[in-house]
Amino acid sequence: MPPSQSVALPLRGQFRSLYTQLKRAHLLERTPVIFCEGDSWFSTPLAMNLLDWIVSPAPEDEARGVPLLGHGGLFFRAEHSGDHASRNPDDPKRSMFVPDNIDDIIGWYGKFDFDLILLSAGGNDFVDNFLKKTFAGQQNLSADAGFQRVLDTGKYEQVKQAYALFLQAALAAKPNIPILAHTYDHPQLIGRPGALTPGNIGVAALLKKSVGPWIGPHIDAIVNADPAKTADERRRFVRLLIDGFEKNVLRELKHDPRFAGRFDYVDLRGTLTSQSQWFDEMHPTEAGFHALATKFRAAIIGKLPAAKR
């Protein structure tokens, strides 16, 4: 494969067929084989998302010397927009790291020689109905008091345990395969839905009714003593929410002796500081995802076997 040419397949039969062909042609020795599971940061169809930019980098990336996967790559993509990391109480089938789903994907994953697992999970667990229930009946809360309510729910621990369940199963199947996740960045457009127009997302705009918001409508209880600063207070609360995920989930898992040296994450916070880089509350624009992918790709390459970088 040329340096920037990769193949991403969502169907198991397609993946198995191409994997077999590469093996017969003795090309697996230099082709990264990557398993991907995640949420809309890996799967949103509204623009080139974080994973799309990894699989299909822009031509100017190669021209500028941005590190690309050395000999292309074979990606199996199992991600779905809206999935939760832990059990989704409103739609259990939209849950990634639960026994039934883990048994299914790891049983299949274990049959192939993957070089890396990429994860994008946890953001959906902390928005929408979770926030609605957490702040039902509440009022006049500061960002700090609101964040304490989130801590008191035990949701971070629940998500961490769900991640751990997956990590244990994946490492039991393939002990030496690294697993790489990412943080989310700090949202800039709290309360703003995505603009669905044919001009920005094509004909898909005619089929979708709305995109968000998932945060703003549920945090009216977060206010500031100075009404003019309430919007800033709500943004501060959301920053605390994102930072809490890094501190209480990803960081603890990275330093957990059970996963030391095998699980890692890329800290993407602080990358997208302009509102123009965001499509809606939770999703960057195509250009925003491209900026994030530049950081993510470098970490991916560092986790691959030397012959496949």
Summarize pLDDT for 189-204 with one digit per residue, the tens.
Answer: 999 886 655 444 444 4
- More confident position, 61 or 299: 299
Phi, psi of 180 (to 5 degrees): -125, 125
Determine the average pLDDT of the residues in 93-101. 96
What pLDDT score does 45 carry? 83
Q: What is the pLDDT of residues 211-227, one digit of tens each?
A: 669 999 999 999 999 99
Average pLDDT over residues 29-33: 92
The Cα 136–Cα 189 span in angstroms is 22
Q: Is the pTM of this model over 0.85?
A: yes
CA neighbours within 13 Å on the CB side: how many for 233? 20
Q: Pairing relation of β-strands 263-266 and 6-9?
A: unpaired
**Burial, 280: exposed, middle or buried (Cβ in 10 Å; 0-12, 13-18, 19+)?**
buried
Peptide bond preceding 213 in cis form (omega within 30 of 0): yes
Per-residue pLDDT reduced to its tens digit, 229-252: 999 999 999 999 999 999 999 999
Q: Round the CA-based radius of gyration of the chain to a whole number and report it.
A: 20
Of 65-74, 77-86, 196-205, 262-271, the range with the lowest mean pLDDT is 196-205
CA atoms of 28 and 262, how far apart (whole Å): 22
The amino acid at residue 231 is A
Backbone angles phi, psi at 70, to 5 degrees: -50, -50
Taking the CB of residue 225, how many other CB atoms lie within 10 A of it?
9
Residues 6-128+155-213+246-308, CATH architecture: 3-Layer(aba) Sandwich (3.40)
Q: Measuring CA to CA, how many Å separate 90 from each of 57, 83, 189, 207?
A: 36, 11, 25, 24
User: Does 210 score more than 70 pLDDT?
Assistant: no
> Residue 32's CB: how many other CB atoms inside 10 A?
24
Concatenating the DSSP letter of every residue in 226-262 gives SGGGHHHHHHHHHHHHHHHHIIIIIHHHHT-TTTTTT
Q: Over the chain, what is the mean pLDDT?
A: 91
CA dist., res. 84 & res. 97, Å (int): 8
